[in-house]
Every structure is written in C-alpha cells, then in structure tokens.
Structure 1
Amino acid sequence: MFHATMAAAIDGARTLAQMDELSRQVWQGHGGGALDDVQAQALAERLHARRSAIREGIVPVGIPAGRVSLFSPRRNVTSPDKAMSRDRRRLLASSGPMPPALASHFTTGQLAVLRIVADEIATKGVCGLCIDAIAARAGVCRRLAQGAIRLAEGDGLLTIEERRHQGRKNSPNLIRIISREWQAWMRRGGRAKAGGRGCKEVHPTDTPVLNSGKTEASGRLRELPTRQGRSHGSGSRPSSRVAGRAKAMR
C-alpha cells in the first residue's frame, strides 16, 4: 500500500522541492519497515528518473539566447603598464609581508598578493576585497591571485569564507589569517611603523631643540669679541716695535 502511494506521488510531482520531500519519505519508510530493500530501490530509481525529467523541463528566465548565464561574461583585465606592475610586485614582495620561514614557500607574485591581503586584515580585521581588486593592487593576474590565496589556505595560514547567493551575484569571500606566527609578525611590523620599541621620536623642528641650538650659538657669538681682543682689544699693551714706530713718526 505504501509503495503504491509513493509511486503515484513521484509520478505526479512537478518541482524539485517535492522530489526532495518524497525522497525523504521513501527512506523514512524504509527505515520504519514499511518498505523492503527491493521496493526502496525501485522507488529510488523512479525518483532519479523523475527528477531528471523535471530538470530538463526547467527553462531559465531572463537569460538571453545563446548565453549560459544571466550575468555578463567576465572580461580579461590586463595591466596597462607591465613594467609598473612588475615593480609593484617586487616592492610588495620585498616589504616583508610574512615571516621568512613562511615566505620561502611563495613566489614574488604570490607574496605581493598576500601583502595586500595582510594589509587589509591589519586595517579592518578581515579582507573583503574582491579577487579583481586584490590582483590589481598586487600587479598580478586574477588566476595568480586566486592560486596564492588557495595555496596559503592549504598551508593552514588563513581561512576563506565563501558568501554565495542563489539567483544573484555572489559576495566577495572573507579572508582571515589564523597563523599565529604570521599574526605576531604583523603586530611587530605595526609597532615598527609606529616608531619602534624603546626609541623616542624627535622631530627636527622641535621647539626645545631649536631653542637650545640658538642659545648655544648666541653664547659662542658673545664670546668671540673677548677671544679676539688680543689683537684689537683696548686693554692690552702695544709691543716695543709699535712703540718705536710711533716715536719715529713724531
């Protein structure tokens, strides 16, 4: 009785959601003893055939003829200045984006990508940039940026949270760094940028520094006349040669 009822319901189903519910009921009936193994297998095959027929009859709405997706095709973005992109990659890779022990496993382009990701995480706590923006900032192609992030994820350095949406464009993935060594490296780098540890930063135009310099300079200028008074000073006696010349002129 249950087998005949389920077979009629499968033949009359019109949506995939109905098929999923019928599949759940079939296997619940098999677990409860209402269906034996042969009957459950026969209903499963009927479900599969009916589900395939429903999928073939689905016509996507809003997709132009000749296209397989509702969204516009992705354009291949190329750098307008390849030399500048190369210099950007080298600069980012040599800026120390991660500890040397970890950086040795990545190429120059991959390190540039991870530098962009690390800077975004250091600023906002999570990197929510789209892959095109990361690739453009790092001076690499889209595929290389994707590969670098996936490689770092495979090494257990970061996590990727996908944000997929049904029927509309997916949101950019959220990237977070979970490597403690990398996190400590980023914290040390932030302190170094702030002025270092144990070093007092003095601005060259500080008021105390200028005042002390002016006082010292003015003191030296005041001492100069007294030091030069031996040749021009009024308190010193003229030499005998100068006195003899004075008498001859008289």
Structure 2
Amino acid sequence: MLAEQIAGALAAARTSRVVDDIAKVLWRAAAEGAVGEEDAGRLGEAIEARRAALRMPVSAARPIPLRKPPICKSPDRARSLDRRRRLVAAGWLPPQIAAAFTLAQQAALAVIAQQVARRGSCVLPIDAIAAIAGTSRTIVKDAVREAVRLGFLSVTERRQTAWRNLPNLVRVTASSWVAWLSLRGGRGRKPDHHASEQKNQGTTQRVETSVTAQASYENRRRKPMRHPTKLECRLINVQ
C-alpha cells in the first residue's frame, strides 16, 4: 500500500527537490520494513529515471512546436502589381542585366537604381524597398543576393552595436549599369557649362558691387570733417 502511494507521488513530482524527499521516505520505509526489497528496488529505479527526466532541457523533454512567421500580404494587390510594372517599364535596368531576373526582382532592383541615380547609393531598408516595389522581403533579398553574386551590386554592412545595425549601403558596380544610369540623367551626368558660367558671372558681379560699396564707405570715413567758417556761424546765429 505504501509502495503504491510512493509511486503515485513520484509520478506527480515536478521538481528534483520533491523527488529527493520521496527518496528519503522510500529508504526510511525500506529500513523499517514497511516496503519490501523488490518494491524498494523498483521504486529506486523509478526515482533515478524521474531525476534524469527533470534534468533534461525543456526542449528535449517536451518539444515545443515552432510557430511559422505570419505571411505579409499587400493590402491592395492590384496597386502593388501596378507599381511593379511601372518600375520595370521605366527602364532603370539595362536589358542585358534585366534578363537575369524575374519581373518582381527587376522592380526591387529598379528601386535601388533610382536611389543610386539620385544619391549615389541606396540606404533604404529592405521593408521600404519591398513596399515601393510592390514585392516581398524575400524577393528583395533574393534579388540583391543574386545581383551581388553576378557582380552587378556591392553591399556594405553598417554595424553599430551587437544589437543595432544601420541599413546596408548598396552601390551599383557594373560599368554597363552605371553608364545606363548616366544616360538617364542620374549620377555622373555631365554638368551644364552654360548654366555654370552664368552662375559664376552673377556671383562675380555681386562680389564687385559689394567691394565697391565697401570702398565708398571707407573713403567717407577717411574724409576729414570740415568746420564751418565764421560767416556760416554768423548766419546760423542770426537765424
């Protein structure tokens, strides 16, 4: 009867400390003859097995099912497809480079090319690129990874701390792509010399006017003050 109670308490034990208390009760009862040698041996083996089970990691003792991340979907799929097609049709990629990617990947690379054409590099986060291109994070990451492998892009990581990073710095490295963006009027566009000359002429005229005004002011300061004559003093007194 006591052996059955000890077995039930052992099955309900959830910590090693409880198992140790049950073991003390068992061996004391065995010493007093309340539990037979056969039952004591069987319960001793059960106690050791229970201790080993409690020492095992939670993941190994009781596997927890992994939760799949939620699938991000566009709230307006039609508008996302429209943005994707417009970016691809705008021609931000040369034909020989665009042929190596799918339509969605071309849209993601087109967003990067826009940033490179305007600022020299792309520092947008992956989520921002995906939202503008009307694609997903996975497509953006796959497109950038494949473009880096083919030598079209270069990615520079900007680590700040062990837990915080700035968005990666993406640049166009393919010479054909750089030339294509230059023809579109992006970075590397030839300067307008006529406009530059007009701007320089206007700046020169403003500088000359400022210098002339400053010189006139200095001359007035240096000119000695003329004292009134005796006749002028008399006229002033008469008035």
Scaled by the length of structure 1, the TM-score of the pair is 0.45
Question: Which structure has the highest helix share of the two?
Answer: 2
Scaled by the length of structure 2, the TM-score of the pair is 0.47
